[in-house]
A and B are shown apart, each in its own frame.
Chain A
Amino acid sequence: MSGAARSVSLALGGSLVAILVLAAIAGPLIVRADPNAIDLANSLAAPSAGHPFGCDQLGRDVLARVLWGARLSLFVAIVVVIASAAIGTLIGVSAGLASERIDNLIMRGVDIVLAFPGILLAIALAAILGPGIRDLVIALVAMGWTGYARIVRGEVLTLREREYVVAARTLGARPPRLVLRHLLPGVAGPLAVQATFGIGGIIGAEAALSFLGLGVMPPTPSWGNMLDAGRAFLLVAPHLTTAPGLAIGISILGFNLMGDGIAQLIGIRN
């Protein structure tokens, strides 16, 4: 692939993400409809000039809800990815640099979390913390960090046998310094790819939790709970899911292109 193509994916992905962020910030200022104002007479109304994406089951404007939902869904996705990646990296690096015994211990811990069905955790957190955004973020991070940990550990194990790292170590570089200087740049590529893919997974998981009644509480709109609510009316009002579905698709496309671009940029540097 040519260098131009690389910058194209990065530019395209970056601008899609930028558009989404802009829509999340500015959209609600432009589309003035109240996303939570119900208008029961307009229940499941088809798209019209006043409501370009129609109205949901309570007569709320779907466009306004998608724009407001962008704030929540993007916020949750980004927070969860950053927190998961941070925790996962920390644990993965520790495991990768630690002695074999500690590494084993950590990896069994990772296995336990990976093998554990997330739904049980989500139900428990919803019951203990009360359902809502906090519960959603904690549940998703608690299940999400393991993938990063495994990737980072694997990369660290490979990298630490590389000549330049071995050389640095023999020159007396201390482990934290080693990690910062040599290891992290090496794992950044795989991490970026995992993270940008992760965002799609998180939005899907949010929809699944809504399906189980554990997502964001009303009236707050999110793409996941809109998709779940709209699903019930697939037969009579498919337009309910068009807008959130498109929004999810565009965001995933954007983040993926961005991830590609980042991965390739890092690939060149190495």
Chain B
Amino acid sequence: MIGYFARRLAAIVPVAIGVATLTFLIIHIVPGDPVTAMLGESAAPADIVGMRHRLGLDRPILVQYGAFLKGLAEGDLGQSIVYRRPVSRIIAERYPATLELAAAGMLVALVVALPLGFIAGSRPGGAGDIASMGFAIAGISIPHIYLGPLLMILFSLDLRWLPLTGRGGLAHLLLPAITLGTALAAILARMLRQSLVAVRESDYIRTAVSKGLTARAALIRHGLRNSLTSVVTLVGLQIGGLLSGALITEVIFSWPGIGRLLISAIGLRDYPLVEGCVLAFAMTYVVVNLLTDVVYGLIDPRVRYA
């Protein structure tokens, strides 16, 4: 098992290089460049040329790529063109906000999805099933861009319970976390239901029921563990979606994380900063997936890490 995780950890390296290369390629193909984006229209042509030279943007693209890879190998993400500070420092300042939001969104999703999915799956076709199915459909039908303002109007304007925007205590976190977590909650609830329905009809639950356990107790004792493994797999798969959602949620809630940072860095063509943000997103994805594998192993000890 330790060997398995060592290999998985080692596999992070090619993924990081792949993501970084893809990003480098894309950001350099897209029209626009950081110097015009930054200097604006009143700059003298000589200053544009001078700055481009100073930033090394006048070198051949392969040379720039080589320099970038070399920096990456040394753990140096370079200087942000716009902020004129090390990219790693800026990411370090902003990353906790994104992690907080994503973790809270995930928590909301799990807290909502597990009971709903269980209620639905333990008696398919019942009122609980229909209600949670309704929630799942509604949850997945309302995109973040719409749910965010809707929640703001309800909880901040009408009820005056929660602050509108910004980052602060738990109160500031609730609305963005619900906005972010709802779609995932819907997906997870549906998946859990699906898998419980399948388990319900399996032989061992039938056997357990025939031995006198109530259906629900049998499900909890035998079925839930089985179903949770599929939920955990799905969580891993959905991390990418959650992070994209975080990006939009950060814009709506003026949340100072790396999602907004990435959008503004793309707008300013701040190449090193875009690289840094994308790598931060990608590494989050990879590490969370690794963690879901660990959790998978804990829930289902039969899993062999081959």
Q: Do chains A and B touch in the complex (CB under 8 A)?
A: yes
Query: Which residue on chain A has the smallest CB distance to residue B282?
Result: A115
Interface positions, chain A 140-175, Cβ under 8 Å from B, are 147, 150
Segment touching A, from B43-51, B144-152, B215-223: B144-152
Assembled-state Cα–Cα distance A150/B239 (Å): 14
B145 adjacent to A227 (CB under 8 Å)? yes
B198 adjacent to A231 (CB under 8 Å)? no
Is B187 among interface residues, defined by CB-CB distance under 8 A? yes
Residues on A with beta carbons closer than 8 Å to the beta carbon of B190: 197, 256
The 8 A CB mask of A190-212 against B (1 = contact, 0 = none) is: 00010001001101100110011
The 8 A CB mask of A253-270 against B (1 = contact, 0 = none) is: 100100010010001000
B262 adjacent to A117 (CB under 8 Å)? yes
B141 adjacent to A211 (CB under 8 Å)? no
Assembled-state Cα–Cα distance A204/B14 (Å): 31
A119 adjacent to B247 (CB under 8 Å)? yes
Question: Shortest beta-carbon distance, B84 to chain A, in Å?
Answer: 23
Residues on B with beta carbons closer than 8 Å to the beta carbon of A112: 15, 18-19, 22, 282
Q: Is the interface of B mostly helix, strand, loop or mixed?
A: helix
Is A46 among interface residues, defined by CB-CB distance under 8 A? no
Assembled-state Cα–Cα distance A267/B244 (Å): 33
Which of the residues B26, B142, B144 comes within 8 Å of A120, measured between beta carbons? B26
A115 adjacent to B29 (CB under 8 Å)? no
Residues on A with beta carbons closer than 8 Å to the beta carbon of B61: none
A116 adjacent to B19 (CB under 8 Å)? yes
A150-B237, A249-B138 known; A128+B30 contact, CB < 8 A: yes
Interface size class of A (residues with CB under 8 A): 35 or more
Question: Shortest beta-carbon distance, B284 to chain A, in Å?
Answer: 8
Is B88 among interface residues, defined by CB-CB distance under 8 A? no
A116-B282, A227-B146 known; A123+B237 contact, CB < 8 A: no
Question: Shortest beta-carbon distance, A265 to chain B, in Å?
Answer: 13
A119 adjacent to B244 (CB under 8 Å)? yes
Is A245 among interface residues, defined by CB-CB distance under 8 A? yes
A207-B143, A208-B143, A227-B143 known; A1+B197 contact, CB < 8 A: yes
A1-B124, A115-B15, A115-B281 known; A120+B23 contact, CB < 8 A: yes
Residues on B with beta carbons closer than 8 Å to the beta carbon of A109: 18
Question: Shortest beta-carbon distance, A228 to chain B, in Å?
Answer: 6
A108-B15, A228-B145, A245-B142 known; A117+B247 contact, CB < 8 A: yes
B11 adjacent to A108 (CB under 8 Å)? yes
B19 adjacent to A115 (CB under 8 Å)? yes
Which of the residues B32, B150, B241, B285 comes within 8 Å of A115, measured between beta carbons? B285
3 closest A-B pairs by beta carbon, nearest first, are A115-B282, A112-B18, A249-B141
Residues of A within 8 A of B (CB): 1, 5, 104, 108-109, 111-112, 114-121, 123-124, 127-128, 147, 150, 193, 197, 200-201, 203-204, 207-208, 211-212, 224, 227-228, 231, 234-235, 241, 245, 248-249, 252-253, 256, 260, 263, 267
- Name 20 A/B residue pairs within 8 A (Cβ), A-sorted: A111-B286, A111-B289, A114-B240, A115-B282, A115-B283, A115-B285, A118-B240, A119-B262, A120-B26, A120-B262, A147-B237, A197-B140, A208-B244, A211-B248, A227-B145, A227-B146, A231-B145, A235-B153, A249-B138, A256-B190
